[in-house]
Amino acid sequence: MTTAQKIFDVTGKVAFITGAGSGLGRAMAEVLAANGAKLVLFDVSAKGLATTVSGLGATEVETVVGDVSDEAAVEGAIATCIGRFGRLDIACANAGIADPEPARLDGYKSENWHKTVGINLDGVFYVNRAAIREMLKTGGGKVINTASMWGLAGAAAVAPLPAYTATKGAVVNLTRELGLEYAKDNVQVNAICPGFFDTAIGDPNDPDFAKATVEFTPMGRTAKAEEIMGSVLYLASSASDFVTGTSLVIDGGCAAR
């Protein structure tokens, strides 16, 4: 194996992925499994997890059904991971939702705000804390938080998403903070900021929304879920050992315009 292959290798690493039952989380499971990692997959949907697992081949994999906004469920899943594999090397805090009912703030329902914050921000907090505690015991690890290009910019030109933008912006800055807090502990904490991907969160069934997303994206198309794989493997492997506290933008050029 050449140096360049070695630095992108995750053979034998143990990865925990939330939101692994669909979309980007499923793609993360696939790329880490294909490159030799063992997996603990977490999602609210048992059916979604089963579909993900069916596509993974002979990978050593454990699944846990639960909600990331439930602290005990996240703590339990990390305990399951340690029980099965004895360690945790890579944590993908990926589970998230879009605003349940997109609306400008003056008409925004409090229940939708709290639900979005619970999953998109509290969930990331619970996963990061539990994962980093384990990584500190074993000398390091990789945390990959799924933010969004709407963590770097307002979304209202496409859709009014006050809770989504607020929580994703918080994930970007939490990632900076944790990157600094654990820089000397060999725990690298980074975020990905996807643009428009063909996943359920983007409502691909709404033709007007689909048209708006393509028009908004300089590359003139939306992305397939598998186009996140390279960035995830990069952040999960030693290729990114000097990279921490950053947010990788994978948006077809949206943020540059």
Partner 1 sequence: MTFENKSVFISGAATGIGRATALAFASQGAKVLIADVDKRAADVVAEISGMGGVAQFAQCDVTDAAQVRAAVAKAVQDHGGLHAAFNNAGVLPKPEPMHEVTDAGFDRVMEVDLKGVFHCMQAQIAQFLTTGGGAIVNTASVAGLIADPMMSVYVAAKHAVVGLTKAAAVEYATRGIRVNAIAPGFVATPMTEAWLEDEDFREEMFKHNIIGRAADPAEISGTVLHLCSEAASFTNGTVHVVDGGQTAH
Interacting residue ranges for partner 1, rule: CB under 8 A:
2-5, 7-8, 176-177, 179-180, 183-184, 195, 218-220, 223, 227-231, 233-234, 237-246, 248-253, 255-257
Which tokens go with 49? 């997890």
Smallest separation, CB 142 to partner 1 (Å)? 13
Tell me the closest approach of the beta carbon of residue 217 to partner 1, in angstroms: 8
Q: Pick the catalytic residue: 126, 164, 182, 234?
A: 164
Q: Smallest distance, Å, CB 197 to partner 1?
A: 8
Indicate the residue among 44 and 223 with the shorter CB distance to partner 1. Answer: 223
Alpha-carbon gap, residue 120 to 69, rounded angstroms: 8
Nearer Cβ to partner 1 (81/93): 93
Per-residue burial over 81-115, b = 16 or more CB atoms within 10 Å of its CB, e = otherwise: bbeebebbbbbbbbbbbbbeebbeeeebeeebbeb
Residues 6+ apart with CB under 8 A from 157: 216
The residue type of 11 is T
164 is annotated as an active-site residue: yes
Choose among 26, 15, 167: nearest CA to 77.
15
Pairing of strands 14-18, 187-194: unpaired
The distance of closest approach from Cβ of residue 202 to partner 1 in the complex, given in angstroms and rounded to an integer, is 13
Nearer to partner 1, 108 or 234 (CB): 234
Give the separation between CA 253 and CA 257, rounded to whole angstroms. 7
From 195, 189, 193, 171, select the one nearest 253 (Cα to Cα).
195
CB of 230 within 8 A of CB of 28?
Answer: no
Nearer to partner 1, 165 or 240 (CB): 240
Sheet holding 90-93, edge to edge: 61-65, 38-43, 14-18, 90-93, 141-146, 187-194, 247-250
Which residue, 16 or 196, has its beta carbon nearer to partner 1? 196
Rounded to the nearest whole angstrom, what is the least distance from the CB of residue 57 to partner 1 in the complex? 20
Q: Which residues are catalytic?
A: 164
